Amino acid sequence: NAGVTQTPKFQVLKTGQSMTLQCAQDMNHNSMYWYRQDPGMGLRLIYYSASEGTTDKGEVPNGYNVSRLNKREFSLRLESAAPSQTSVYFCASSQGLAASYEQYFGPGTRLTVT
Amino acid sequence: KQEVTQIPAALSVPEGENLVLNCSFTDSAIYNLQWFRQDPGKGLTSLLLIQSSQREQTSGRLNASLDKSSGRSTLYIAASQPGDSATYLCAVRPGQAGTALIFGKGTTLSVSS
């Protein structure tokens, strides 16, 4: 039982390049999330998927797109990377949206855009 | 807009000491509050979740309390150990539409042997 896994662990991009961050969970969770963590800003929600087939914007969605590929997988795409997107990206999942459900986090992807 | 504050930003204690980490939030309308631990360069590990209807949760040496009316939560760590050294994050899930956890900036704890 690996929990939430993310690939890649590290990535360096040049401005304007595109890439997709992958996330998968093996806990049969319905809801999945993408956060970014920046020094002095804390973690902020980019997008979330309440259930398979649905996605919604979070606090900072500009410059990103997401795909809920199936119940297990939720990917985050940067179409044209910018230096402001240098950050650590975390994927998380939870059983659902009810108050009793904890969110479980992956190990993160450290992205640098030059 | 919900804001979460954690004080102090950093804390150093000797091994064996009992300690309290504080978290405050501006809007008492929350679904739940979750405490996480983050080790340097690592992801977040969930420690405790308190639903809005609960007052406290315990796990081993950890006890988290919630006072919704005053907008406060505390994480109590008993008999601290060097292995407890990490950054502790508090996050609330607002009661209005949307499912974002709103995070504080964390308290970095250092326990010396």
Q: A15-41 pLDDT, tens per residue?
A: 999 999 999 999 999 999 999 999 888
Which of A13, A5, A10 is CA-nearest to residue A74?
A5
B72: which 2 tokens? 């406060």
Task: Return the bridge partners of B89, or none.
Answer: B36
Q: Token match 């119940």: residue?
A: A71
Give pLDDT, residue B98.
58
Shortest distance, CA B60 to any CA of chain A (angstroms): 18
The answer to whether B54 contacts chain A (CB < 8 Å) is: no
A96: which 2 tokens? 């659902």
A97 to B91: CB separation less than 8 angstroms, yes or no: no
| Residue B79: other Cβ atoms inside 10 A | 11
Query: What is the number of residues in chain B?
Result: 113
B6 in Cβ contact with B108 (< 8 Å): no
User: Which of A40, A59, A107 is closest, CB to CB, to B100?
Assistant: A59
Give pLDDT, residue A25.
97
User: Which of B32, B46, B89 is closest, CB to CB, to A104?
Assistant: B46
Give pLDDT, residue B107.
97
Give pLDDT, residue B41.
86
Per run of 10 residues, the mean pLDDT along chain B (length 113 residues) is 92 97 94 94 92 94 96 97 97 75 94 95
- Sign of the torsion angle spanned by Cα atoms A107, A22, A65, A33: negative
